[in-house]
Chains A and B, each alone.
Chain A
């Protein structure tokens, strides 16, 4: 039996939807049925041939027609038609509608409703709105999306507001398609401005979904005007006096022919300006700045373009970026009164340090030394004292006088420049020898003012004393003299270091100075004569090392088959402490993250150390927190269980860079931490980039075999065309069904009998029977 369907009819009543269809359930095989049909045709032909001579043409036609009806009914019965009446539930094919509700859809171009409203008007507006038309043929599922997609009840379409912080068209599309994969949707109608901030990875996989996407671009033909600082490429770390490149990418829409000044500022002060000439309606420009930081620290720079008339978004006209400026190399001026082993090994220690850039002047010949050759046969150069001590001091981070007496080389008042230099933040160290301290003529000079010790009134302060340097309690923990993190190991190292054979005896240690090491021998009947002391003077630091024998800590340690690294480490740590290396600050701050979202709590830790670098049990913190707008905010501090450690927190409601400065009062002295720059950013990119992107929408349509049109295009396809494009037909779920086999019905039987009877009658009438 073969069933051949016939064209179904559909009708709706109050009790439901019905569908009827005519099917043919053939009794015989198709071949046999055809054979019967051929036989019937043959019989008909024979009848015609038989009747034609015997009756009139009219009668012949009539009788043959009747026979055709009979044969037709017979064939029909062989074909066994059945009328199938089904009560069905019409299931429309699903169609997905995705509506972009990100922040950029809230933009309204001049004289027009917002992009979201335009999309809403298309979907809902008028009698032949898209939703109404499509709902007749499809089961619509509406989604809204920004960075994610979620279902939106159609009745709530008017309530939805633009607000998503970023847009990920492709990810939203992928999510929806995956979710609806089992329902086989006919397609997706996606309404968006195309301002996409996510990854493009999903673009390549759209074709595999096998679902056509019709994209309707919103705001495509509307004039969009915007200037955006798209990106700023700058190193996070720069070096003082070294040029640093900052590359800025500028995007423009709609300012063709205009000259745009791009400004680089720091703390409101203009650092540099560049002018960009815009030559295209939509384009990118690269702007390069070269800045040369002049001071060490943490700074916030801003690149900005002034807002222009008609700009869609002005929040993307500026970008802040932090810049840490460090010294590239520590610049040391070493002045030595006479070549000596102490100079030799000190020079080696400083030269070997890749972080130090040293200039040294050694007095190779004094005015009293006898010259036996013309001057041009000597490699001696003038000692540029005037330039060094009047102009160049500020270019050094540290000045060391090693066994050097100034008296033969420059006037007393140059030392006042050194004093001022230290007071304003420089560093100074005096190392011992016969030309240092009182014996070098420094008593009563500005150098005595800045050093942590006072000098003897008589000039003979140099003593030949065999001694070791014993660390004081402060010295055991101080960064200069802590040569091992373990206290016992540190002590063992210091016990091992060779003896020193002489020292400069000084007066007293100044209040506020710290003695790190003392002589192990009694000198001038005094025990504990200071050997190493340091202090802060103004903004700077000074150190006095009262011996010229520390070279033995290097060479003689090597001679004992031990390490000379302790000496090198000591020199390194001494230099870094003097120049206030940020690593050695006593107040240290870190943040828990490198960036924080707007509206979140910014948190971090402050660590406070005493002068001996042990955690400060008691300290008073004071802070200054500035918002990006320059307002001051309070900061909460909570001490943790670790001594000297505090947790801070504050709420950041503005986007930009917050500046946190912390001071700690430790034992009556104020110490500052490095300034911390905390970046707070608006999560999402809608505030940055909102230009319509029809190219993406077009791409999506092409890849999926779909269609793209702009909503504001007068020639856009109508909704009906869109519907036809999607195609598809409803499917039906059969609820009830009734089958009526027509050959088993009386009317058919009576019809056949009637036709046969009529033919019999007509044959009799015609005299054939």
Chain B
């Protein structure tokens, strides 16, 4: 028996056409007992001071839906807005930080909390929707990352990085526009707890209340949007499985598929 919310969601998708119908047909029957919210995957979006922390308020929900639709992961419907001082921060090991403008630097305490969050198993995806290199949001992010990890620097993730293989085999980075054809990250031992994309992933994910895409993707159009969703799904799976796809048993299959 579906919940009321799920039923309404499916009606909405049906109203938009075939993909939703397919989703309805193929949707996995929900178990009778609801999963506690804290064990469902959700994206915690960081609210910070200054700048514009929420340029695309309805970006995360479509991503969560995509994760739920394509993978075996149970997700919540909506994001969780959180600050670095929120006691519930460590109940959400996946943190999404979006922005379009420069922001106030984190305090020392905030920085310490965030560092602990990332070092003890959390994953943070920073999404620059503005796309201006070294200005505004980008400049603030890079400055903050330097303070967060003074002994490490943002590095371009190589094509064979696990993030590009956790679910989809990704060869190109999507987004609302291709500012960088790559993803950057901070490496800590065998993990990359901090990912940075300047292509406006959230902008590509966002739908309005009627379910229409808010922004069009240039120059690649819907294919580019699909890549943005694929990267989002991979980030979610990376948060949940870390280097699972680096286990030796996967490598021959992945190599074969990559040709």
Contact digits for A638-671, partner B, Cβ 8 Å, 1 yes 0 no = 0000000000000000000000000000000000
Report which of A340, A364, A462, A502 forms a contact with B41, defined as CB distance below 8 A.
A340
A351 CA to B241 CA in the complex, in Å? Answer: 12
Q: Mark B177-194, 1 if CB is under 8 A from A, else 0.
A: 000000000000000000
Q: Is B226 an interface residue (CB 8 A)?
A: yes
Query: What distance in Å separates the Cβ of A344 from its nearest Cβ neighbour in chain B?
Result: 5
In chain B, positions 21-40 with a C-beta closer than 8 Å to chain A are 22-23, 26-29, 31-36, 38-39
User: Are A460 and B39 in contact (CB-based, < 8 A)?
Assistant: no
Residue of A nearest to B251 (CB): A381
B71 touches A339 (CB 8 A): yes
Interface pair A339/B121, CB less than 8 Å apart: no
Q: Is A370's CB under 8 angstroms from B26's CB? A: yes
| CA A462 to CA B121, docked complex, whole Å | 27
Q: In the bound complex, do residue A348 and residue B121 qualify as a contact, i.e. CB atoms below 8 Å apart?
A: yes
Number of residues from B at the complex interface, CB < 8 A: 52
Complex contact A366–B28 (CB within 8 A)? yes
A75 at the interface (CB under 8 A from B): no
Contact indicator A366/B72 (Cβ below 8 Å): yes
Contact A362 B241 (CB under 8 A): yes
Q: Say yes or no: is B106 at the interface (Cβ < 8 Å to chain A).
A: no
Q: Which of A210-218, A477-485, A551-559, A732-740 forms contacts with chain B?
A: A551-559
In angstroms, Cα B39 to Cα A344, docked, is 12
Check: B213 CB closer than 8 A to any chain A CB: no
Binds A, one of B52-60, B132-140, B161-169, B197-205: B161-169
Of B116, B167, B250, the most chain A CB neighbours within 10 A belong to B167
Q: Is the CB of A376 within 8 A of B257?
A: yes
Knowing A338-B72, A344-B241, the reply to whether A460 touches B32 (Cβ < 8 A) is: yes
Task: Flag if A369 contacts B33 (CB, 8 Å).
Answer: no
Q: How large is the interface on A (under 10, 10 to 19, 20 to 34, 35 or more residues)?
A: 35 or more
B119, chain A: closest CB distance, angstroms: 8
Could you tell me if A379 and B169 are in contact, using CB atoms closer than 8 angstroms? yes
Cα A363 to Cα B29 in complex, Å, equals: 16
| B192 CB → nearest A CB, Å | 14
0/1 string, B234-247, CB within 8 A of A gives 1: 00010111111101
Are A368 and B26 closer than 8 Å at their CB atoms? yes
CB distance from A333 to the nearest CB of B (A): 11
A182 to chain B, nearest CB (A): 73
Interface mask (A542-584 → B, CB under 8 Å = 1, otherwise 0) = 0000001100101110111100100000000000000000000
User: What residues on A are CB-neighbors of B34 within 8 Å?
Assistant: 464
Query: How far is the CB of A570 from the nearest CB of chain B, in Å?
Result: 16
CB-contact partner of A548 in B39, B166, B169, under 8 A? B39
Residue contact B244 to A359, C-beta cutoff 8 Å: no
A648 to chain B, nearest CB (A): 47
- The listed residue (B70, B116, B117, B230) touching A371 by CB distance below 8 A is B70
Q: Does A394 contact B (CB under 8 A)?
A: no
Smallest CB separation, B116 vs chain A (Å): 6
Specify which chain B residues have a CB less than 8 angstroms from the CB of A462 in the assembled complex: 31, 33
Establish whether residues A370 and B70, one from each chain, have CB atoms under 8 Å apart when the complex forms: yes
Please determine whether B31 and A555 come into contact, CB atoms closer than 8 angstroms: no
A347 and B93 in contact, given A365-B71, A377-B168, A501-B36 (Cβ under 8 angstroms): no
B1 within 8 A of A: no
- CB neighbours (8 Å) of B240 from chain A are 339-341, 343-344
Task: Establish whether residues B27 and A368, one from each chain, have CB atoms under 8 Å apart when the complex forms.
Answer: yes
- Do residues B72 and A363 form an inter-chain contact, with CB atoms below 8 A? yes
Bound CA–CA A561/B116 (angstroms):
8
A364 touches B250 (CB 8 A): no
Given known A-B contacts A362-B241, A362-B244, A376-B257, A556 and B90 have beta carbons under 8 A apart: yes
Question: CA–CA, A376 to B241, complex, Å?
Answer: 20
What is the chain A residue whose CB lies nearest that of B73? Answer: A339
In the complex the two chains form, is B38's CB within 8 Å of A501's CB? yes
Cβ 8 A contact of B167, one of A351, A368, A378, A549: A378
Cβ A379 vs Cβ B167 within 8 A? yes
| B41: A residues at CB distance < 8 A | 339-341
Evaluate contact between B26 and A464: CB separation under 8 angstroms: no
Q: Are A337 and B72 in contact (CB under 8 A)?
A: yes
CA distance A340 to B71 in the complex (A): 12
CB distance from A152 to the nearest CB of B (A): 73
Interface residues of B in 104-132 (CB under 8 A from A): 116-117, 120-122
User: A439 to chain B: which residues have CB within 8 Å?
Assistant: 31, 33
Interface contact A341-B93, CB-CB below 8 Å? yes
Q: Are A379's CB and B33's CB within 8 A?
A: no
Contact with A along B71-99 (1 / 0, CB 8 A): 11110000000000001011101000000
B191: min CB distance to chain A, Å: 9
Interchain CA distance A242-B254 in the complex, whole Å = 29
Q: Which of B204-246 contact A (CB under 8 A)?
A: 226, 230, 237, 239-245
Q: What residues of chain A lie closer than 8 Å to B22, measured between beta carbons?
A: 370
Measured CB to CB, the closest approach of chain A to B6, in angstroms, equals: 14
B26 partner residues in chain A, CB cutoff 8 A: 368-370
A396, CB-defined interface residue at 8 Å: no
Known A339-B240, A379-B257, A462-B31; judge A555-B36 contact (CB<8 A).
no
Q: Which of A351-408 contact B (CB under 8 A)?
A: 351, 359-360, 362-366, 368-373, 376-381
In the assembled complex, A124 has its CB within 8 A of some CB on chain B: no
Within 8 A of B (CB), among A455-496: 459-460, 462-464
13 further contact pairs, Cβ within 8 A, besides A369-B70, A559-B90: A339-B73, A347-B241, A370-B23, A373-B168, A377-B168, A378-B169, A379-B166, A434-B31, A439-B31, A462-B31, A464-B34, A549-B38, A558-B117
29 chain-A/chain-B pairs, Cβ below 8 angstroms: A338-B72, A338-B74, A344-B121, A344-B239, A344-B240, A345-B121, A347-B241, A347-B242, A364-B72, A364-B241, A376-B169, A376-B257, A377-B169, A379-B168, A380-B167, A459-B32, A501-B36, A501-B38, A501-B39, A548-B39, A549-B38, A552-B91, A554-B120, A555-B90, A555-B93, A555-B120, A555-B122, A559-B90, A559-B116
Chain A residues near B (Cβ < 8 Å): 337-345, 347-348, 351, 359-360, 362-366, 368-373, 376-381, 434, 439, 459-460, 462-464, 501-502, 548-549, 552, 554-556, 558-561, 564
The 3 closest A-B pairs by CB, nearest first: A559-B90, A339-B240, A558-B120
